[in-house]
Amino acid sequence: MSQKFDVIVIGAGPGGYVAAIRAAQLGLKTACVEKWIDEKGAPVLGGTCLNVGCIPSKALLESTHQFHKTQHADVHGIATGEVSMDVPKMVARKDKIVKNLTGGIGGLFKANGVTTLQGMGKLLADKKVEVTAADGTATVYEADNVILASGSVPVNIPPAPLTEGLILDNAGALDIDETPKRLGVIGAGVIGLEMGSVWARLGTEVTVLEAMDEFLGAADKDVAKEAAKIFKKQKLDIKLGARCTGTEIIDGKEVLVKYTDSEGDKEIVVDKLIVAVGRKPQTNGLLSEDCGVKLDERGFIFVDEQCKTAAPGVYAIGDSVRGPMLAHKASEEGIMVADIIAGHKAQMNYDVIPSIIYTHPELAWVGKTEQELKADGVAIKVGKFPFAASGRAMAADDTDGFVKIIADEATDRILGVHMVGGIASELIAQAAIAMEFCSSAEDLQLTVFAHPTVSEAVHEAALAVDGHAIHIANRKKR
């Protein structure tokens, strides 16, 4: 008889591994299937996020930010002499962090009693799961509940086919081991901007080609405008309305990139080209024809707001379902689903999911943009506070950007918070907490913020909603 579990999770990314740990914590007999293996044939846990996504990119961003700060340390009176970067050492540090974290998940699985099943998981009818191991052996397991957490893969584009060492996707981009003189990036989204920043800080000439005419179309326009100004100062050459039409490899060591913009056909030559045009759900080989799960018109697994698929007892979470492709969204869905399976009441607030771009300064937002709210006909009031007026930001020599808070004109409820700033990724959590608790701007105005902190900019922006910020001139007409 085949082994039976209360819950089988397919995929050990931040959606799947978190769901598996929560399910096991709630007393459910849980297995997690992962197809990714290392050179020794052992399962690689952590998915895109830990292995080739959030964590390695942030390790490289931090290293290059430290490099940049050291280069500019003279502002504090620190003389450093010439600063240099040992790129292989930087990449090795990144690899070590990845190894520590992914290994840590194996430890958490053991500690919580989650069974790891190595292999390609396929959902069959009646919540059976076939797992085909790397050696080709297939075993069928039974489960009362299945959670599909198969994640996503990069989108490739025909004009720029991946070419070893020259045309790279996001995984290849994280392993560049010497500073390229010229780097091309296709796509001015999160990944493109983060990877472009890493290399621009090390002196690479970076050109970003973005097919859309608008920069950061999903962000609040104030954030997009400020970011464009700052990236220009940082010498990230972002070309909008520039569609890549083809590539040629020159002498096996350079890439000729052809693109077209409003002025016609153009070309650039780069040493490496990163393709960062987005990601698509990964469902190849995941679903048998009779499993009952349906895909939507864009290839995502179709789910309701509780992540239930069309097949009873089968759930899907993370990048393979609708909604933002973000690790924290995947993890929270995993927790919600495990709670539902264990019989608890659970729901997720899709209106309050923070988005962050970890350039420097960082861009972060939660809730609706001013443009969305105006388009919806909502009467709003806006408060904005620049970091240039923050004593702590001045002390840190990190004064670019602002905090913008948008509140409902009638109820004062906070509807959106948008930031550009050195540690916006940390500050945005304050906004998310406030919005989760349905705070008004006044609630933040009445909260005592420690001085001197960068967080005071959140307080001041809340005060500015009513024209009461202290450290800028913002009096509203009565």
Ligand X SMILES: Cc1cc2nc3c(=O)[nH]c(=O)nc-3n(C[C@H](O)[C@H](O)[C@H](O)COP(=O)(O)OP(=O)(O)OC[C@H]3O[C@@H](n4cnc5c(N)ncnc54)[C@H](O)[C@@H]3O)c2cc1C
Q: By CB under 6 A, name the binding residues for ligand X.
A: 10-16, 33-36, 47-49, 53-54, 57, 120-121, 149-152, 170, 191, 282, 285-286, 318-319, 325-328, 330, 358
- Residue nearer to ligand X on the CB measure, 217 or 285: 285
User: Which residues are CB-contacts of 120 (< 8 A; sequence separation ≥ 6)?
Assistant: 33, 35, 131, 132, 285
- Residue nearer to ligand X on the CB measure, 15 or 106: 15
Rounded to a whole number of angstroms, the minimum distance from the CB of residue 12 to ligand X is 5
Give whole-number Cα distances, 120 to 13, 107, 133, in Å. 14, 22, 6
212: β partners: none
Q: Is residue 65 annotated as a catalytic residue, yes or no? A: no
Rounded to a whole number of angstroms, the minimum distance from the CB of residue 20 to ligand X is 11
Dihedral angle at the C-alpha atoms of 346, 406, 354, 7, nearest 10 degrees?
A: 10
318 DSSP assignment = G
Rounded to a whole number of angstroms, the minimum distance from the CB of residue 130 to ligand X is 10
- Residue nearer to ligand X on the CB measure, 35 or 404: 35
- Residue nearer to ligand X on the CB measure, 136 or 252: 136
CB-CB contact of 355 with 364 (8 Å): yes
Give me the phi and psi of 246, to 5 degrees please: 180, 165
Q: Residue 362 has which token pair?
A: 């960082």
Q: How far is the C-alpha of 75 from the C-alpha of 60, rounded, in Å? A: 24
Rounded to a whole number of angstroms, the minimum distance from the CB of residue 436 to ligand X is 17
Set 72, 76, 344, 451: catalytic member: 451
End-to-end Cα distance, the chain: 77
> Of the candidates 444, 366, 445, 440, which has an alpha carbon nearest to the alpha carbon of residue 408?
440
CB-CB contact of 32 with 9 (8 Å): yes
Rounded to a whole number of angstroms, the minimum distance from the CB of residue 233 to ligand X is 23
- Residue nearer to ligand X on the CB measure, 10 or 167: 10
Q: How far is the C-alpha of 132 from the C-alpha of 118, rounded, in Å? A: 8
* Residue type, position 244, single letter: C
Rounded to a whole number of angstroms, the minimum distance from the CB of residue 322 to ligand X is 12
Q: Chain centroid to CA 252: how far?
A: 33
Q: Residue 435 has which token pair?
A: 């919005």
- Residue nearer to ligand X on the CB measure, 34 or 226: 34
Rounded to a whole number of angstroms, the minimum distance from the CB of residue 96 to ligand X is 18
Rounded to a whole number of angstroms, the minimum distance from the CB of residue 120 to ligand X is 5
- Residue nearer to ligand X on the CB measure, 34 or 370: 34
| Total residues belonging to the chain | 478
- Residue nearer to ligand X on the CB measure, 148 or 393: 148
CB-CB contact of 238 with 151 (8 Å): no
**Complete DSSP assignment for 48-113:** HHHHHSHHHHHHHHHHHHHHHHHHTGGGGT----S----HHHHHHHHHHHHHHHHHHHHHHHHHHT
Q: Chain centroid to CA 473: how far?
A: 36
Q: How far is the C-alpha of 180 from the C-alpha of 198, rounded, in Å? A: 11
Q: Residue 83 has which token pair?
A: 């600063």
Residues with active-site annotation:
451
